[in-house]
Amino acid sequence: MEQKEGLKRVLGFWPTWAICIGLTVSGSICLATMYGFAHLGAGFLVPLAAAAIIVFCLVTSFMELALMLPKAGAAAFYTMPALGRVPGISIGLVYLVVFIFIGPVEFMILGHLFSDFVFTGVPWWIFPLIFAAIFVFLNFRGIGVSGVVQLALAAIMVIIILLLGIFGISGFASGTVISPHPFAPFIPPGVGVMDILEMTMLLGIFCFMGLDWITPLVEEIKDPVKTLPRAIPFAIATIFGCFAIFGLAGVMYVKPDVVLATSVPHIVIAQTLFGKLGLVAMLVAALGVSLTTMNAAAAEIPRVYYSMATIGLFPSKFGYLHPKYRTPWWAILLVLGLTFPLFIYSIFIGEQPEFLIEVAAWVWIIMYAIISVDLIILRRKYPKAKRPYKVPLYPAPQIIGLAFALIIIVFAGSKVILAGLGVLAVLFTYSVIWTKFFMKKPLFKPVPIEEEISS
C-alpha cells in the first residue's frame, strides 16, 4: 500500500537547539576540551573560539543547502546535483559510518559512568544494552517524544556545567585554589603558534563537530527557514560558553597533570570544586551528555536512510514508515544495530576509543570538504535557484572551511588515513554497485536540481 504521508513537522526552536547540543557534546568532547585547557591553560580560549568560527563557516554550507533542498537525506541530496549519484550516495553513507565508530565509544563512556560511579560492580556493557532499547522505543514512538526528552537532557546538562563553572571562577568553590589568576600567564611558557594551531585542529574543532547532523531533520522542523539559522549559531555559542567557563574553573583549581591522568577530567574537576556535591552534579551532567548524544543520533541518522530509500538510493525497506507513528522504524533498527559489532569487539578484545574517534573524525571532515565544494558548484550552476537562506560573505566561509578541512585531512596520522581510506573505499564500492546494477543510472552525471526538488 502506498504511503502518502511524510514526516511530521514537530520540532520548534528549543528542541532543534537541544538536538544540536546533543549531536555535538559527547563524553569524548568533554575529555578533549578539558585536555585542551590542561595543555594551554586559559590560552585554550583562543583555539576554542577560532574553532567555533571555523565550524560555523563549515556549517553555513549545510544550512544553505538544507533550506534549498529540504530533504532528510541531507548530504546525499546536496552532492548529487553537484557531483553525481556515486559521490552523493557515498557521502550520504558517511553519517552511518561515523555513528558506527562513535556509537560504541559513547556506549563505552555511558557504561563506565554507570558501572564506576552508580552501580559499582555491575559489568559496564549491560547499561548500553538497556539504553539502546530505550532509545529504540522513544524513537519508534516519534521524534516529538524524542525531542521533549532531548530538550530536558540538554537543559540539565547546560545548567549544571554553567553553574559549576560560574561558582568556581567566582571563588565560591570549596576546593583549594592553585591559580587565582587563570589569565596570568594567558598562555604557558614554551607554547608556540604551532601548538595553538594543533590544538585548534585536533581538540577545538572536534569540540564542535556534529552540528551539521541537524540538517537531515529539516523535514521535521517547524518553519526551518527561521529556526535552523538561529538554532545552530545559538548552539555554537552555548557550547563555547559552557566549556569556556567550566574550563577556566578547572585551570584555577586542578593541576594540569591531574587532568591529563584521567579519562573523565570533567568529573575530577567537579569533584575538586565542590567535593561530593560537585561529583554528583557533574555525574548527572555527564550522564546527560552521553544520553543526549545517543538519543539525538538515534533520532536523526535513520532519517537520512529513510529519505535516501524513498528515491531508490538505499534499499526500499528503509523507506517504510510505521503506520501509526510515521517513523522510519527499519532505519532506526539498522543504525543502532550496526553499532554493536564494534561494541562487542570492545568487550572481548579491548577498548580503543581514541582510534575510533580519530577515524570517524577524518571521514567526517572529508564530508565537510565535499559539502563546501557542493555549495560552490551549485552557486555557479544554478545562480537563480531559490535560496531561502544565503551564506553571509560567500564564498569566504567556504574557502576558510575548506582550507582547514584539507589541512586536517592531509596531516592526520598515517594509521588514521589508511583506515579512513579503507572506509571510503567500501562506501565508494557499494555506491558504484548500487548505482550501476540496481538503479541502472549514470555513475557521475550530476542529477538535475529540478529532479532533486520534485523527489
412 inside domain: no
124 inside domain: yes
pLDDT at 198: 60
Q: Which tens digit of pLDDT belongs to each residue from 23-61?
A: 787 777 887 788 888 888 888 898 888 888 888 888 899
Q: How many domains does the chain have?
A: 1
272 inside domain: yes
pLDDT at 82: 92
The phi, psi pair for 332, rounded to 5°, reads -60, -45
HSE, CB side, 13 Å, CA atoms: give it for residue 398: 21
Q: What is the C-alpha to C-alpha distance for residues 227 and 250, in angstroms, rounded to an integer?
A: 34
Determine contact, residues 353/108, Cβ cutoff 8 Å.
yes
Check residue 444 and report its DSSP letter. Answer: S
Q: Is 324 helix (H, G, I), strand (E, B) or coil?
A: coil
Q: What is the C-alpha to C-alpha distance for residues 366 and 371, in angstroms, rounded to an integer?
A: 9
Closest listed residue to residue 320, CA positions, set 330, 312, 311:
330
Domain range for 49 is 13-71+96-347
Determine contact, residues 444/84, Cβ cutoff 8 Å.
yes
277 inside domain: yes
CATH number at residue 60: 1.20.1740.10
pLDDT at 236: 93
In 350-446, alpha helices (H) = 353-381, 396-411, 414-433
pLDDT at 429: 95
Low-confidence ranges of the chain (pLDDT < 70): 1-8, 10, 71-74, 142-151, 154, 180, 182-184, 188-202, 216, 292-293, 295-297, 299-300, 346-354, 451-455
186 inside domain: yes
Q: What is the C-alpha to C-alpha distance for residues 41 and 39, in angstroms, rounded to an integer?
A: 6
pLDDT at 175: 76
Q: What is the C-alpha to C-alpha distance for residues 69 and 385, in angstroms, rounded to an integer?
A: 10
Determine contact, residues 13/230, Cβ cutoff 8 Å.
yes
433 inside domain: no
200 inside domain: yes
Site of grid cell 553555513 = 60
pLDDT at 3: 43
Q: What is the C-alpha to C-alpha distance for residues 334 and 163, in angstroms, rounded to an integer?
A: 39
383 inside domain: no
Q: What angle do CA 233, 215, 378 make, to 5 degrees?
A: 95
Those residues with Cβ within 8 angstroms of residue 47's Cβ, 6 or more apart along the chain or in another chain: 36, 40, 196, 197, 199, 200, 203, 204
